[in-house]
Amino acid sequence: MEKFLSERVKNLATSQTLAMAAKARELRSEGKDVIGLSLGEPDFNIPDFIKKAAKDAIDQNFNSYTPVDGYTDLKNAIINKFKRDNNLIFSPSQIVVSTGAKQALYNIASVLINPGDEVILPCPYWVSYADIIKLKGGIPVEIKTNIENDFKMTGEQLKSAITNNTKMVWFSSPCNPSGSVYSSNELEEISTVLESFKNIFVVSDEIYEHINYKGGHISIGAFNKIKERTITVNGVSKAFAMTGWRIGYIGAPEWIARACNKVQGQVTSGANCIAQRAVITALNENPEKIKYMVDEFESRRNLILELLGNIIGFNCNVPDGAFYVFPDISFYFGKNINGFEIKNASDMSMFLLEKALVATVTGDAFGNPNCIRISYAASKEQIIKAVDRIKAALEK
């Protein structure tokens, strides 16, 4: 019966981060002790002050549909946050609250992409970008980067990827999956290239903004040259450990925000009301209040880099943010380990799942076939155990 599915959906890839997490869950339900390092999901509890705000909202009987683009006081909290943390100035009509940053990205694609439009993606990019773009008839255009340049595109590379069909550039900084953080100079260089291309828009995904070990996050939208053409995407899943609460948001030119609002009004009617109330409290707080999680992530990053450094053929950059390492494991391609042939990164990820009981994600999902992604949003004990198992499986 699957032949009746739309061509659009037949051509859509399954999210490999979610697929790997499901596979790990399935193996666990069969009694296997799988360590899940596939999903980018903080393992912290939600901070108590946010829990309390949600409980209060229930007791205060917040239960109705909210304005489609979010409660006014949430939009004001977002406006203050953008000003406080990012030097970005927005009015309420430029803010749209959505069901996760993922829906915010989907809205942007819905309102800006016409079939055949090209969207430039520096590789590696977050797993869902390419498929959201394709779902809207857009064409992802990849810019290859590598470990030597810290997986970051240069202005020169960007310029040579631009064609008459280029509509947008999408990227995340800190980057999922490489953890790379663009410096102020690098963002300035990108904005200088884009200055004269008045029909090209930038989608800046800043969901890992606070998980930045160097500090001092810079938003590309703060550069005057392209501020009128930048959509800044953010959310609470990562920094506030609120993945399941599903709140993301954008700050955008008003005409784009209005269009996203229109789409959302037909598709979801708006984000969950209790989660929105809780997020007002989260965003109004000083980010120092969640710094304990960032400090812990940094210490885990140092640990996992040190441990992976002892494994031959796991070549890592030093990620300055997010909570992933993205080792180049191409050293193993063409090798046979105990009857398991490793031809590519997907084989390596499967090998680690089956032989080391460690779930990771193949780099193919992020546009880089030489790497795998390992999330270190897990306890130190789990990280130590996982790397021990990986080492043992590879040494067999």
Give residues in contact with ligand PMP (CB under 6 A): 40, 100-102, 126, 172, 176, 205, 207, 235, 237, 243, 248
205 contacts which partner out of ligand GLU, ligand PMP, none, CB within 5 to 8 A by kind? ligand PMP
Q: How does DSSP classify residue 315?
A: B
For position 360 contacting ligand GLU by CB under 6 A, the verdict is no
Instruction: Please state, in angstroms and rounded to a whole number, the distance separating the CA atoms of residues 189 and 207.
Output: 22
Q: Which of 12, 18, 141, 303 binds ligand GLU (CB under 6 A)?
A: 18
For ligand GLU (CB under 6 A), the number of binding residues is: 10
- Tell which one of 35, 78, 88, 127 touches ligand GLU (CB under 6 A): 127
In terms of CB distance, is 38 or 317 closer to ligand GLU?
A: 38
Nearest distance from C-beta of residue 323 to ligand GLU, angstroms: 10
Collect contacts of 118-121 with beta carbons under 8 A, ≥24 apart. Answer: 118/163, 118/165, 118/166, 118/167, 119/166, 119/167, 119/168, 119/169, 119/170, 120/158, 120/161, 120/162, 120/166, 120/168, 120/169, 120/170, 121/169, 121/170, 121/171, 121/367
Q: Which does 183 bind (CB under 5 to 8 A by kind): ligand PMP, ligand GLU, none?
A: none
By the rule CB under 6 A, 349 interacts with ligand GLU: no
Instruction: Find which of ligand PMP, ligand GLU, none residue 319 binds, CB within 5 to 8 Å per kind.
Output: none
Residues 81-120 touching ligand GLU, rule: CB under 6 A, are: 102
Q: Please choose which of ligand GLU, ligand PMP, none residue 323 contacts, taking the beta carbon within 5 to 8 angstroms, the exact cut-off set by kind.
A: none
Q: Is 40 in the site for ligand GLU (CB under 6 A)?
A: yes
Which of residues 94, 172, 176, 362 is near ligand GLU by CB under 6 A? 176
Residue 319 CB, nearest approach to ligand PMP (Å):
13
Tell me the closest approach of the beta carbon of residue 15 to ligand GLU, in angstroms.
5
70 counts as binding ligand GLU under rule CB under 6 A: no
Give just the sign of the alpha carbon dihedral 312, 318, 324, 329.
Answer: negative
3-state SS, residue 5: coil
Between residues 21 and 342, which has the closer beta carbon with respect to ligand GLU? 21
15 lies in the site for ligand GLU, by CB under 6 A: yes
Helix axes 380-395, 345-356, angle to 10 degrees: 110
- Listed in sequence order, the DSSP H helices in the chain are 7-10, 16-29, 48-59, 72-86, 100-112, 127-135, 155-161, 184-195, 254-267, 273-284, 291-308, 345-356, 380-395
How many angstroms separate the CA atoms of 298 and 212, rounded? 9
DSSP assignment of 202-213: EEEE-TTTT-BT
Helices 127-135 and 100-112: angle between axes, nearest 10 degrees: 40
Partner from ligand PMP, ligand GLU, none contacting 172, C-beta within 5 to 8 A by type: ligand PMP
CB of 134 to ligand GLU, least distance (A): 16
Which of ligand GLU, ligand PMP, none lies near 18, with the C-beta cut-off 5 to 8 A by kind? ligand GLU
Closer of 201 and 366 to ligand GLU (Cβ): 366
Q: Is 249 helix (H, G, I), strand (E, B) or coil?
A: strand
Question: Which pairing describes strands 335-337 and 230-235: parallel, antiparallel, or unpaired?
Answer: unpaired
The pairs formed by 25-33 with CB atoms below 8 angstroms and a separation of 24 or more are 27/353, 27/357, 32/357, 33/357
- From the list ligand PMP, ligand GLU, none, partner contacted by residue 342 (C-beta under 5 to 8 A by kind): none
135 binds ligand GLU, rule: CB under 6 A:
no
237 to 33, 180, 249: CA distances (angstroms): 26, 19, 11
Contacts of 186 (CB under 8 A, 6+ apart): 152, 154
176 versus 317: smaller Cβ distance to ligand GLU: 176
**Interface with ligand GLU by CB under 6 A: which residues?**
15, 17-18, 39-41, 102, 127-128, 176
